[in-house]
Amino acid sequence: MAEATTDILERLAAHAAINSAPREELAWLAAHGSLRALAPGEIVSHKGHPVEWMYLVLSGRMALIVDRGAGPDKLVEWHAGDVAGLLPYSRITVAPGNSMALEPSEVFTLHRDLIRELTRDCFELTSLLVHRLVDRARLFTSAELQNEKMISLGKLSAGLAHELNNPASAIERSVSVLTDRLEQSEAATLALGMARLSEAQLSAIEVVREHCLATQVIPRSPLEELDREEAIAVWLSAHGLGTRDTQMLADTEVTLEGLDAVAKVVQGEALSSVLRWTASGCAVRRLASEIRGAAMRISSLILAVKGFTHMDQAITADRIDLAIGLSNAVTVLNAKAREKSVSVTLEIAEGLPQVVGYAAEFNQIWGNLIDNALDAAPDGGCVKVRAAQEGERVVIRVADNGAGIPAAIRSNIFDPFFTTKPMGQGTGLGLDIARRLVRHNDGAIDFESEPGRTEFRVSLPPA
C-alpha cells in the first residue's frame, strides 16, 4: 500500500497543473484520492447529474460533450496535465454535458466531500487549482459566447434569407413583366407616331398620362380588381375598341373620367393606339418604381444586418446611439415576428442620451432579449421595445404578453444552460450571456413577470 501511495505521489509530482505544490500537500492528495482507469467512451459525469469528482488527467484524453439539440458538440478537451470535473470554489453543481474518455486514460480522482478539507489543509495546492478554475471559466465563457454567436447568426441568416427573398422575388417578377411592357410601349409609340395627332390632341393625352403617373397606387382586393376590369372592358366595347388591353389599363390608375377625356379629342383607331401607349407607359413607370422599392428594401436590410453585427468596425468601446442598434435588431428579427403574426413596436424617447460601450455586445443583448420575447409571445401577440432616460440611467425595456415565467424557476433563468424551451430550440445560454455582456458594459439587467406580461430591463449609465 505504501509503495502504491509513493507511486501515486511521484505521478502527481509530475503533473503539469500541480507539480509546483509542496511535497507534503501532494502527499495529502495522494493519501485521500485514488487512481481510476477509463476505457474509450466511458462516461465519468452525465449531463444533468451532480458533479461529484475532481479529475487530474494523468494520461490519455477526456472531453466535455454538450448536446444543445443540434447534435453532440465537443465543448472542451482535456489531456495529460489538465484538471477536469469539480475544482475548489467552483459553483458548478450539475454537469452541462457528458464528460467522457476519448481514448484509454488514467485519472486521479478526489471526491467532492474532501474538497473543503483540501482547501483547509493544502493552501498552495488549492491556489494552483483555483488558477486552473479561472482559466477554465475563461475558456468556457469564450466557447459559450462563440457558440451563442453562431446560433444567433444562424437565426439571423434564416430570417434574413426570408426577408431578402420577398424583394428579390418582386424584382424578378417585375423585370419579367417589364420586358413585355417595354415591347408594348415601343409598338404603341410607333403606332402613335403614325396617327399624326395634332398638338392639341397630344397635350390632352399628356395631361391624362401625367395624372395617371402622379396618382398613388391604390391597393385593391381581388373583387375590386375584377370589377375594375369589367368596367374598363365595357368602356372599351362602348367606344368600338377591342378588349385586349383591358388588363394593362386596369393595372394603371387611369380613371373612366380620364378615358372619357381622351375619347373627346381622339377617335377611331388612333384612340386604341393612344390608350395602349398611355397604359404601357404607366406600366413601365410603375414596374420601375417597384424594382427601385425592392432594391431599396434589400439595401436597408443589408445596412441593418451590417449595423447589427457591427461588421467592418473595430471592437472597441465607443459612444453608442442605442436607437440605431435597437432599430437594427427589430429589423433583422422582423421575419420571425411575421411568422407568428406578432406586432413589434419600438419607442425611443426624445433626446435619448448615448452610452459608452461595445456596439457588437449591445446588439447581441438586444437580439437575445427580443428573440426571447418573440418566442414567449403568443401567435398574434405583441412585443414592445422602449428606451428612455429614467433618473440618471438609460433604461431599455423589452416586454411581451406571453404566459409569463413561472415563479418556481425565476431564480434560475440567468443560470448557464437553463432553458424552458423544447430540445433543440434553446441553449440555455442567451440570458446568461446577455447578463455578462450587460455587466461588461457597466450596466444591470433584471425582469418582472406575471401571467400576460414579462418585461426585461437593461439600465446603463449615459455617456
Q: SS3 for the chain, per residue?
A: CHHHHHHHHHHHHCCCCCCCCCHHHHHHHHHHCEEEEECCCCEEECCCCECCEEEEEEECEEEEEEECCCCEEEEEEEECCCEEECCCCCCCCECCCEEEECCCEEEEEEEHHHHHHHHHHCHHHHHHHHHHHHHHHHHHHHHHHHHHHHHHHHHHHHHHHHHHHHHHHHHHHHHHHHHHHHHHHHHHHHHHHHCCCCHHHHHHHHHHHHHHHHCCCCCCCHHHHHHHHHHHHHHHHHCCCCCCCHHHHHCCCCCHHHHHHHHHHCCCHHHHHHHHHHHHHHHHHHHHHHHHHHHHHHHHHHHHHHHHHCCCCCCCCEEECHHHHHHHHHHHCHHHHHHCCCEEEEEECCCCCCEEECHHHHHHHHHHHHHHHHHHCCCCCEEEEEEEEECCEEEEEEEECCCCCCHHHHHHCCCCCCCCCCCCCCCCCHHHHHHHHHHHCCCEEEEEEECCEEEEEEEECEC
Number of domains in the chain: 3
291 and 383 share one domain: no
Q: Is residue 410 part of a domain?
A: yes
204-249 pLDDT, tens per residue? 677 667 766 666 666 777 788 888 888 888 888 888 887 777 777 7
277 and 349 share one domain: no
278 and 324 share one domain: no
pLDDT, residue 241, reads: 80
**Which structural domain, as residue segments, surrounds residue 291?**
157-302
pLDDT, residue 427, reads: 46
Q: Is residue 135 part of a domain?
A: no
100 and 175 share one domain: no
320 and 448 share one domain: yes
Q: Is residue 152 part of a domain?
A: no
194 and 57 share one domain: no
Q: Is residue 9 part of a domain?
A: yes
pLDDT, residue 423, reads: 43
292 and 341 share one domain: no
pLDDT, residue 292, reads: 81
204 and 294 share one domain: yes
Q: Is residue 57 part of a domain?
A: yes
- Low-confidence stretches of the chain (pLDDT < 50) are 1, 3, 311-312, 314, 422-428
336 and 269 share one domain: no
47 and 183 share one domain: no
Q: Is residue 139 part of a domain?
A: no
CATH of the domain at 7: 2.60.120.10
211 and 296 share one domain: yes
Residue ending a domain, among 302, 331, 363, is 302
291 and 171 share one domain: yes
Residue ending a domain, among 75, 97, 121, is 121
169-215 pLDDT, tens per residue? 778 888 877 887 788 778 777 777 777 777 777 776 776 677 666 66
pLDDT, residue 200, reads: 72
Q: Is residue 55 part of a domain?
A: yes
Q: Is residue 130 part of a domain?
A: no
CATH of the domain at 438: 3.30.565.10
Residue ending a domain, among 105, 121, 137, is 121
